[in-house]
Structure 1
Amino acid sequence: MRWRKALIAAALVAAALLLGGAIWVARDPEVVLRADFARQRIGAGLQQDSVDVAGHRWVYAFNDDAPPGAATVVMLHGFTGSKENWYPLAERLRGHYRLVIPDLAGWGASSRQPGADYGFVAESERVAAFITAVARQPGRQTVLLGHSMGGGIAALVAARHPALVDRVGLLNAAGIRFADNQFGRDVLAGHNPFAVHDVATMQRYLDTVFFDAAARPWIPWPADGIYVARRVREAAFEQHVLDRIGRSEERFLPGEEAAHIRQPALLLWCRQDAVIDPSALDLYAARMPQARKVLLDGCGHMSLMEQPDAVAEAVVALIERGTPR
């Protein structure tokens, strides 16, 4: 009789917890995404903090568990991305280097100012201020990695603020005139090829940026609908940024300014990148003859998630063996 009462009590508690969780999610659906991002961050061995810099509240992941004097590695995500994109790589670099991984101003959990410019130039100046406030430390080299849009931003920071950046890595970087592909034609036509407004277009977005199906993130219910709703809300902001980095007078500025980068550098692409065509690798390399070129096979635009082991190897080589021009 007692065990029956215990089972009934346990069932009632479970039902109450389930109901409470359902009410919580109903009031704040994005709690599901935040919980999953926290799970990923903890799994990668990272902590989280925030700081006010350049008129924005920056939220960033970090890990300080590194040998004395080890380099600080700052990682900048791409268009529609977030700091979470870097976690597979961070997990492999953790313990060897100090890691600082922000949501860029205007993106992810960082703040956004109405009417502000979030193009290459404006963001590069904000990143320079962020590095000064958070990443730069006496006795440590600062290594700046940028992916896609973040690569264009990183190129400008390295070119215009050489005292802040000792080594730079551009991964599938935007900001240069590459061979025509469907993505580029859509951007020039004023469209957002990354736009998401339902589950089908979310899948199309993932299929565009990932070549390796095994590496594509699985977004189960109800997270899929919550993610779609977020991207729908972000549509106007995404288009505004894409107009700046893809169609304005500054769209090729990172590639032009790359000729002023003197630091040891890494240029890394994937052969199957359907977003930033791999022809961009040689175009950047022509302006950065000191850079080591790495072209991976079997991955698309998300090299840092599709082949994190190979990317980690290339980054370690940049830090440990890179030499100035």
Structure 2
Amino acid sequence: MPAWQIALIVAALVAAAFVVAIALRLRRDPYALVRAEFARERMALGLARQVVEIDGIRWVYAEGGSRDADAPVLVMLHGFTGSKENWYPVARRLRGRCRLLIPDLPGWGESRREGVAGHGFAAQAARVAAFIRATCDKPVTLLGHSMGGGVAAVLAAREPRLVARVGLFDAAGVRFADNQFGLDVLAGKNPFGVHDRASLARYLDVLFHDRCAIPAMPWPARDILVAHRRREAAFEQSVLDEIGRGPEQFLPGEEAARIRQPALLAWGAHDRVIDPSAMDLYAESMPQARKVLLAGSGHMTVTEQPDDVAAAIEGLLAAEPAKQGAHA
């Protein structure tokens, strides 16, 4: 048999073995397909996957941006049931001009959950403060969406030497005007719970106003996501018990009165999760904050209107920072 035929046979056997290995991996861990897509998106943006252990907690985060030492540092916090990937559309518009640090909060995404006690606003704010100290050498612009916005508000109030500016996007943590989502949370339900295709569709319908912004989920991604969310149900419920019904449910709003840094409040005009009335409640405590109402967006402003969100962040970066000190 000629050498070239042997080479073709070997190549075919290697390819077949690779396909079998991938199939076995997906059978054991179907969600690996979703993680692979997340990795593809991250690499397309030129972001690096970083891992750091802080106080015994393993953080996974995406990092990228400017090589300029004077470039602003942006730390971007995701919301309930979310992950670092939620910020990628905005990161695409800011890369090259800022240093971007986009972590999975402990308990979520790829960061550690086991052995991490408490996922309320105060506990997560303390952890993010430790993360900033470990990864940054100057005060940051802290951006938080939904639950992450509540965490950001608490941290900006309690650690002003770490946070030069703060942006809250559809942030949790105040007693906004009643809507069905809020009433369900107060009644002990998880309106974000997903257990089948129909509940997944309802979940996405509540999150998004612009249907075109919903990420594509070709087969079998939809069923993989449903199975993943079923496994997450108990954890989601425990976090919602802390941030939605527990003693800390309005802590971010209470702490907001102590925020003196330049601030941004941005909301989707059609937000069916955190009603837009929350923006005015935050603004009462943060009169220095610029308010931005995004007319074409629901709760997921950071993915529905990333151009407008990035423009609002650039306006925040242009604001004169509060008096800063070195890290404590």
Report the TM-score when normalising by structure 2. Answer: 0.92
Asked if 2 retains the 8 angstrom alpha-carbon contact of 1:66 and 1:94, the reply is no
Where 2:75 maps in the other structure, the secondary structure is strand
Asked if 2 retains the 8 angstrom alpha-carbon contact of 1:51 and 1:58, the reply is yes
1:142-173: per-residue Cα shift (whole Å, max 9, x none)? 10000000000000000001010000000000
Where 1:131 maps in the other structure, the secondary structure is helix
Q: CA deviation at 1:67?
A: 2.2
Where 1:166 maps in the other structure, the secondary structure is strand
Aligned length: 318
Q: Does 1:131 align with 2:129?
A: no
Amino acid at match of 1:34: R
Unaligned regions of 5+ residues in structure 2, if any?
324-328
Of 299, 302, 311, the match for 1:301? 299
Amino acid at match of 1:171: F
Q: CA deviation at 1:13?
A: 6.7
Asked if 1 retains the 8 angstrom alpha-carbon contact of 2:164 and 2:322, the reply is no
Matches of 2:14 and 2:116, distance apart in 1:
48
Q: CA deviation at 1:222?
A: 1.8
CA distance 1:115–1:263, shift in 2 (3 Å): closer
Amino acid at match of 2:87: W
Asked if 2 retains the 8 angstrom alpha-carbon contact of 1:45 and 1:91, the reply is no
1:263-282: per-residue Cα shift (whole Å, max 9, x none)? 00000001000000000011
Q: Indicate the residue corresponding to 1:189 in structure 2.
A: 187
Where 1:167 maps in the other structure, the secondary structure is strand
Q: CA deviation at 1:18?
A: 3.6
Q: Indicate the residue corresponding to 2:93 in structure 1.
A: 92
Q: Indicate the residue corresponding to 1:224 in structure 2.
A: 222
RMSD: 1.9
Q: Does 1:277 align with 2:275?
A: yes
Q: Indicate the residue corresponding to 1:38 in structure 2.
A: 39
User: What percentage of residue pairs aligned between the two structures are identical?
Assistant: 60
Q: Does 1:117 align with 2:118?
A: yes
1:116-139: per-residue Cα shift (whole Å, max 9, x none)? 1111111111111111111x314x
Matches of 1:115 and 1:18, distance apart in 2:
37
Q: Does 1:102 align with 2:103?
A: yes
Where 1:298 maps in the other structure, the secondary structure is coil
Asked if 2 retains the 8 angstrom alpha-carbon contact of 1:171 and 1:303, the reply is yes
Matches of 1:165 and 1:219, distance apart in 2:
37
Asked if 2 retains the 8 angstrom alpha-carbon contact of 1:56 and 1:113, the reply is no
Q: CA deviation at 1:12?
A: 7.0
Matches of 1:88 and 1:168, distance apart in 2:
19
Asked if 1 retains the 8 angstrom alpha-carbon contact of 2:164 and 2:321, the reply is no
Matches of 1:72 and 1:242, distance apart in 2:
30
Unaligned regions of 5+ residues in structure 1, if any?
none
Q: Indicate the residue corresponding to 2:169 in structure 1.
A: 171
